[in-house]
Amino acid sequence: KQEVTQIPAALSVPEGENLVLNCSFTDSAIYNLQWFRQDPGKGLTSLLLIQSSQREQTSGRLNASLDKSSGRSTLYIAASQPGDSATYLCAALSYNTDKLIFGTGTRLQVFP
Amino acid sequence: ETGVTQSPTHLIKTRGQQVTLRCSSQSGHNTVSWYQQALGQGPQFIFQYYREEENGRGNFPPRFSGLQFPNYSSELNVNALELDDSALYLCASSLGAGPEPEAFFGQGTRLTVV
C-alpha cells in the first residue's frame, strides 16, 4: 500500500531564502509525482508534475526532483516571497491503484 | 483557474441529513475524481467516475455515493451525515482514466456537519 510522507510539517522562513520541501513514498511503482499548492480553505493548484521517467521539472522559481529508487521527491523554492506562503502537497500516482495518493503537506510561511 | 467548478462553496448540515455536492469538469475531460480533505490532512480518494461508470473506490462506506452525467459533470452524495464527515470535498477532472498525466482540481466545497 502506497504511503506518502512530507517533511517538515511546517516551515517558517524569512523572505529571500532558498528552501527545500521533502516528499517520500513507500512504493516506487508510480506513473508520476505531482506537487500542488493549497491556500487556506481553497482547492489545489498544480505546480509541477514529474513523470516516472524524468528526474526533474522546473517552473520559474520552482524545481522538483524525483528519485524513484529511493522513493523521494524534493521541491526547491528559490528566493522565497511572502506570496509563497501556503500548504504544499505532493501526490504519487501509483501503478496499483491508478489514483493519486497524497501526503499531509508542508505548511510554509514566508515572512517579510 | 482550472475550469473545474464546484457548488456550493460552503454548506452546513445537521447530523443524519443527506447532502449532494456538484462538480463541473473541465471542458473535454471525461473523468472526475472526488477527494475528502479533513483539516490538517492530505486529500483522501473517495471514488472516480469515467464515462459515467464508477472506476475505483477508496476506503469510504456505501453511504458515500456518486453519479456522473452524460456531460461528464458529477455529483457526490452522502447519506446519514456524521460529524466526522465535516471536511473540504475536492473534485478533480482529467482526460481519461488510469495514468492520466495531470488532474485539475476545483476550489472545493466546505461541508460542516453539526
Q: Each residue of A6-17: pLDDT tens digit?
A: 999 999 999 999
The pLDDT of residue B14 is 98
**CB < 8 Å to A103, chain B:** 42
Tens-place pLDDT, residues A63-92:
999 999 999 999 999 999 999 999 999 999
Contacts of B44 in chain A (CB under 8 A): 102
Residue B95's pLDDT is what? Answer: 83
What is the pLDDT at residue B99? 57
Query: Looking at this protein, which amino acid is placed at residue B30?
Result: N
Give first-to-last CA distance, chain A, whole Å: 41
Say which amino acid occupies B82: E
Write down the pLDDT at residue B11: 96
Backbone CA torsion sign across B77, A37, A41, B15 = positive
At A98 the pLDDT is: 74
Q: Report whether A93 contacts A33 (CB < 8 A).
A: yes
Of A36, A44, A39, the closest CA to residue A89 belongs to A36
Q: For each successive 10 residues of chain B (114 residues), what is the average pLDDT?
A: 88 98 91 93 93 91 96 95 97 75 87 97
Residue B75, C-beta contacts closer than 8 angstroms, at least 6 positions apart = B20, B21, B22, B23, B66, B67, B69
Interface test with A, best of B59, B93, B102, B112 (most A CBs within 10 A): B102
pLDDT digits (tens, 9 = 90+) for A24-51: 999 999 989 999 999 988 899 999 999 9
State whether A103 and B104 contact (CB < 8 Å). no
Mean pLDDT of chain A: 94
Max intra-chain CA distance, chain A: 44
Asked whether residue A54 carries a pLDDT value surpassing 80, the answer given is yes
Q: Which residue has the cell 475528502?
A: B36
The arithmetic mean of pLDDT across residues A15-22, rounded, is 96
Would you call A103 and B98 a contact, using CB atoms and an 8 Å cutoff? no
Give me Rg for the CA atoms of chain B: 13
